[in-house]
Structures are given as C-alpha cells and as structure tokens.
Amino acid sequence: MFNHADFDGHERVVFCTDPDSDLKAIIAIHDTRRGPALGGCRMWPYASAELAVRDVLRLSRGMTYKAVMAGLELGGGKSVIIGDPRTGKSEALLRAMGRFVNSLDGGYIVAEDSGTCVADMKVIAAETAHVAGVSDKPALGGGTRSGDPSPSTAYGVFVGLKAAVRHRLGRYDLDGVRVAIQGTGSVGTHLARLLHGAGAELLLADLRPERAQALADELGAEAVAVDAVFDQDVDVFAPCALGAVLNDDTVKRLRAAVVAGAANNQLDHERHGEALRKRGILYAPDYVINAGGLIDVAYERSGIARDGDRLRQHIDGIAGTLSEIFVQADAEGLPTGVVADQLARHRLQRRH
C-alpha cells in the first residue's frame, strides 16, 4: 500500500468486511490537519479490489484539496463499498458500514455519493453520529429541500462553468452556448435545468439512455449515445458521471473548447491535463468546480445550514477561485490541474 501510485501519504486506509451482510468496503483518510475528513460513500460494482483501492485513494486526496481550495476547516477522506447499488444494498450492509465509520471516532464523516442517497445515510446514522447530508435545509432557490447536497454541487458547477466560458470564449452569458452533459443523475439533472434556464443548448448522454431521453424531452434538448458524447460539436463538455473519462482516446476526440463538469477524478492521468492544454481546451479542475456539495454539508455540520444566502455566497466563490487558476495557468504555461494542485498544497502547508 505504501508504494501504491496513488497512496500520497494517506494517514489511514481501512479495509472493512462484514460476512453477515456481505459488506466489502474501504475507508481512506488522506489528511486531517485542517479538521476531520469529510467525504462521500460511493457504492459501485468495481471489477477488482485494485480498481476500488485506486478510486478511493484518488477520491480521498481530492477531498483534501477540495476542502482547502473551498476555504473549509475540514480534511479529506472517502469511502467505497464494492457492490451493485441497485441489487446489493441492504439495511444490514449499511448499518455494518455505519459501525466501521463509528470505529474511527470522528476522524471520518460520511455523506452520500454515487450509488448512495440520503435514505442510506439515515440508515448509517443509526450506528454513528459521524454522518452529514441528512438534515432538511433551505433550497438555494427558496423553499426547503432534503439533506441531498447535489443541488449545491450542480449550482457550483454552473457558476464555475460560466467562469470558464467567460475566460475561454469571452462570453458573459450562456445564451446559445452548446453544452454536452455526460451523466444525468442527480447532479447532471440539476445542472441541465440550470443551464437550460440560462439559455444554453443541451446534449445529454447517460449509461441509462431512457433517463437521458426523459430529461431531453423535458428540456427540449437532444439525447445522444453515451460513447458519442465525446464527439459532439459543442462549446462545453460537462462530465457528470464517474471519473477517468478524459483519457488517451477521449481527449483526442473532444471538440469542445471547455471541460467543466461535476465528476471527480476526470483525468485518467495527470498527463491528460497537459494534452487538453495543448489542444487549447480549458479544463476546470474537478475538485475546485464541484466543491458546492462539500460546502453544503460543511454548513450543515457547522449549524449554519439555515443561512441560505451565506451558503450561496460561499459557493459563488468557486468562480473566483477558478479564474485565479486560469490566469496563473496562462501566465505560467501550465495545465490548470497542475496549478490547482500547487495552490492546494501551498494553502495546506501555509495553514500549518
């Protein structure tokens, strides 16, 4: 483990098994110098344990950088459950996960992620108090919503996408801007509605084509095959599904000027950030642009979740952080992801 390419000095990596519920999970805590590690629990049918380890380590480190770039007093952590969320989830499995989270004495705070939801977190909360994203709170557009942080994630991506369009295309509005969204789950759907309201033209793709088609019908958009989304003639490509979608094959196929989406770990390897830069494609570093959900659950934990205006203002700050990264990357001739990593490490070290 210490020699794993993605280990990166993790403080703790815990492998969790519970034969009675068939739980197989990994909890990774990357850094707790700024505070407890807060990060979602992903459930996915990984093809191998090695792929699960790689994913949780990369996600955990990303949470550390996400927290510091968002100005939060939190550390970085993540967990994954190996299994199909549609067929392998049970109350016994979730409660067993809750007991493992509880055994870490608050060093890791769990929240929802791909394959889990608010209802799942409430089951986990029966075994541990170290859970976030379960309390009702004001919706950014008024009214009340559940603890689901995906609307805040989508709103952060929306303001970040506008900053990227402004920097790369010189546009201060999104009217007629063509955006291809890969993944129409909770975040992708919320983002699509925000973009539609701003006048963007949308192309939608999802592993479940019927879901993309239903949203396309609602918004007057176009649904495309999930593999064909990389080849679309658009201004912005917004990956909002799983990670590692920008690889040796897909980077060459992109016809967009901007990549700005909600997915974590969008670059398969760091070199793909340089490949995007050489093609003139502006990449909004994922852990910066998708920080809205983390800000949301951090506010819930701090007891100020009822202040919707303050939450919105904090998420609006994502645009300024991205603009700083874009300007510095242009000045130094570096990929935006490299600049973001440098800033995150500097801020983390400066704090201590």
144 assigned to some structural domain: no
Residue 165 shares a structural domain with residue 284: yes
Token pair 């068939």 is at which residue? Answer: 22
Which member of 78, 89, 137, 162 is catalytic?
78
Domain that holds residue 20: 12-60+74-133
Please tell me whether residue 227 adopts helix, strand or coil conformation.
coil
258 assigned to some structural domain: yes
107 assigned to some structural domain: yes
pLDDT on residue 107: 95
User: How many independent structural domains does the chain possess?
Assistant: 2
317 assigned to some structural domain: no
Please list, in sequence order, all residues whose beta carbon lies within 8 angstroms of the beta carbon of residue 186, skipping any fewer than 6 positions away: 148, 150, 154
- Identify whether 78 is a catalytic site residue: yes
Contact 233, 212 (CB under 8 A): no
Residue 79 shares a structural domain with residue 198: no
Please name the helix (run of DSSP H) or strand (run of DSSP E) that holds residue 351, with its range, or none.
helix 336-351
Residue 228 shares a structural domain with residue 337: yes
The per-residue pLDDT string of the chain (352 residues; one tens digit each, 9 = 90 and over) reads: 899 999 999 999 999 999 999 999 999 999 999 999 999 999 999 999 999 999 999 999 999 999 999 999 999 999 999 999 999 999 999 999 999 999 999 999 999 998 999 999 999 999 999 999 887 666 666 555 667 889 999 999 999 999 999 999 999 999 999 999 999 999 999 999 999 999 999 999 999 999 999 999 999 999 999 999 999 999 999 999 988 899 999 999 999 999 999 999 999 999 999 999 999 999 999 999 999 999 999 988 876 656 678 899 999 999 999 999 999 999 999 999 999 999 999 998 875 5
Residue 112 shares a structural domain with residue 232: no
pLDDT on residue 327: 98
Residue 112 shares a structural domain with residue 170: no
Residue 239 shares a structural domain with residue 98: no
Residue 174 shares a structural domain with residue 267: yes
pLDDT on residue 200: 98
303 assigned to some structural domain: no
Kindly report the CATH number assigned to the domain that includes residue 49: 3.40.50.10860
Residue 206 shares a structural domain with residue 262: yes
50 assigned to some structural domain: yes
Residue 129 shares a structural domain with residue 241: no
